[in-house]
Structure 1
Amino acid sequence: MLRTLTSFIIFSICLALPPAVLVYTGNTKWVLPQFWGIFVLITALTMMLIVAVSLIQKRHPEMYAQTFLIMTVAKMVLSMALALFFTIKFKVDSVVFVLNFFYVYFLNTIFEVLVLLRNLRNQIEK
């Protein structure tokens, strides 16, 4: 679990670098002012998913797939609720919002799938 959390922290830092560079270089038209709130919430949801699945894998390995699916659906619903909240609450450029939101959401989802594949591969080899 420690290895997964370490790789998640490194992944999160790498994920935050391109928007930070855009803001630092003055290209703020591509990064919403609320981007960091979206980033923190979706990254926190992903971290909770990874921690929950890792704990379940150690305590109840037979529940691993169900836990992963439940947590992924919960993350998806909460992320879509976040997107709905932002589109209703703030007047933002829709193209920039979609780019910002899906940049964070899909890359976090790709990381989850890679963690899932690595953990399932480890179970098969044991």
Structure 2
Amino acid sequence: MKSHIYSLLALFIVIADVFAKDVRKLCTNTLGSRSCGQCIKQHPDCAWCLDPHLVGPSRCDLKSEFQGKCAPSLIYSPTTEVRIVPQNNLPLGSKQADGVTIVQLEPQQVVLRMKPGNHKFYNYLISYLISHPNFVTSMK
């Protein structure tokens, strides 16, 4: 049993190492080395060293690879943020001030700051109001 666990652990380490090398190739390729914007677009794990005097082939690399090469304060690696702001809306199914528009989505206000190539999923609550005049549905 222990030998199976060790084998699986070794396999996992090998796969993680291969994946990290592939990601690093994306970061350090010619396109990623052109500019900060191109670097960040290559992969969500890529980071850009803002130090113009960086010695080495590329200012774009994995964040962990800049250790000892680029000051931490000069490493640009934006993060993805999903934030639900305070909701000052009417509850689902209620009418707005115009008396017509019916609230069908909650939350109605979300702040997204997405790093290129990164994916985030968020659940929304949708209320389908069949009596709404703009609601169109087809049933088969």
TM-score, structure 2 length as denominator? 0.28
Higher relative contact order (CA 8 A, sep 6+): 1
Bigger helix share: 1
